[in-house]
């Protein structure tokens, strides 16, 4: 698979570029639309909940602390959600291409991941600009976002591949997963701080592999502190396991998927 990705690297890069151009070819604002939706979501939550939840963030004097906290968590979640959601329907959407052309099928999820990373990078740059306007200070700890992004990508690839393959054979999966992702979002402390959750339920958060990631983003961007490696290592292990499982199923079910599609 690695060899195939290297041989088709120009195809992958070209596909990502073509997707970007096609999406905004007739748009006046262009790539700005990539960040308008999540930033609009931040604005809505901030206007409604800022006065209530800002006081729940200890050790922060910035009056815009809740907005910064919210944007940091959404930056991590948006990447995860985008990759999983797109991989969920990828093979169904590209069914005709898979049947008519001979090429390494692994390039399809790679294009999705590359496009999602580009979107997330543009969102991150936009958020950095907003952080500067809100007088938020940064330090070298922000470099931790690079390995954290890699962990999120690994986790989302594994989960997205498994669900995407299942969705080819069981189409109800495509209806159930968006609902589960929406519930997952609200069970992850992104919009609200963990302090408002009763202490007796804190141990249950270990079952949520995205909680350490959103928390780490918030720790870095809001407090300027390095994240805890223990919980991140667990998420990385879960992600690697899911990715290996997804790649194994992908290789075994590749021909059958084409027949079903």
Q: Each residue of 49-65: pLDDT tens digit? A: 766 666 566 666 666 77
Please give the pLDDT value at position 68. 83
Which is nearest to 51 in space by CA: 60, 59, 63? 63
Find the helix or strand (DSSP H, E) in which 80 lies. helix 65-93
What pTM was computed for the model?
0.89
pLDDT band at residue 128 under the 50/70/90 scheme: confident
Please give the pLDDT value at position 155. 96
pLDDT band at residue 98 under the 50/70/90 scheme: confident
Q: How many CA atoms lie within 13 A of 6 on its CB side?
A: 3
Across 62-81, average pLDDT: 85
Please give the pLDDT value at position 20. 79
Q: Answer yes or no: is pLDDT of 196 > 60.
A: yes
Please give the pLDDT value at position 53. 65
Across 76-105, average pLDDT: 88
Between CA 213 and CA 151 the distance in angstroms is 8
Q: Answer yes or no: is pLDDT of 201 > 60.
A: yes
């Amino acid at each position: 698979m690695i060899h195939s990705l290297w041989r088709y690297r120009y195809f992958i890069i070209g596909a990502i570029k073509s997707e970007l151009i096609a999406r905004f070819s007739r748009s006046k604002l262009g790539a700005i639309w990539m960040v308008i939706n999540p930033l609009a979501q931040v604005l809505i939550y901030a206007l409604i909940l800022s006065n209530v939840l800002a006081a729940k963030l200890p050790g922060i004097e910035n009056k815009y602390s809740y907005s910064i906290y919210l944007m940091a968590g959404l930056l991590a979640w948006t990447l995860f959600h985008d990759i999983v959601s797109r991989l969920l329907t990828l093979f169904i959407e590209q069914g005709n291409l898979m049947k008519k052309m001979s090429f390494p099928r692994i390039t399809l999820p790679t294009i999705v991941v590359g496009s999602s990373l580009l979107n997330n990078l543009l969102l991150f740059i936009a958020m950095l600009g907003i952080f500067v306007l809100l007088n938020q200070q940064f330090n070298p700890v922000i470099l931790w976002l690079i390995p954290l992004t890699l962990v999120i990508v690994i986790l989302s690839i594994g989960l997205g591949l498994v669900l995407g393959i299942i969705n080819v054979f069981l189409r109800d999966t495509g209806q159930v997963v968006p609902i589960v992702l929406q519930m997952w979002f609200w069970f992850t402390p992104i919009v609200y701080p963990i302090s408002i959750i009763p202490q007796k339920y804190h141990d249950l958060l270990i079952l949520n592999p995205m909680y350490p990631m959103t928390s780490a983003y918030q720790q870095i961007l809001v407090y300027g502190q390095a994240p805890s490696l223990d919980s991140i290592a667990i998420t990385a292990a879960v992600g690697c396991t899911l990715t290996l499982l997804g790649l194994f199923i992908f290789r075994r079910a590749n021909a059958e998927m084409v027949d079903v599609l």
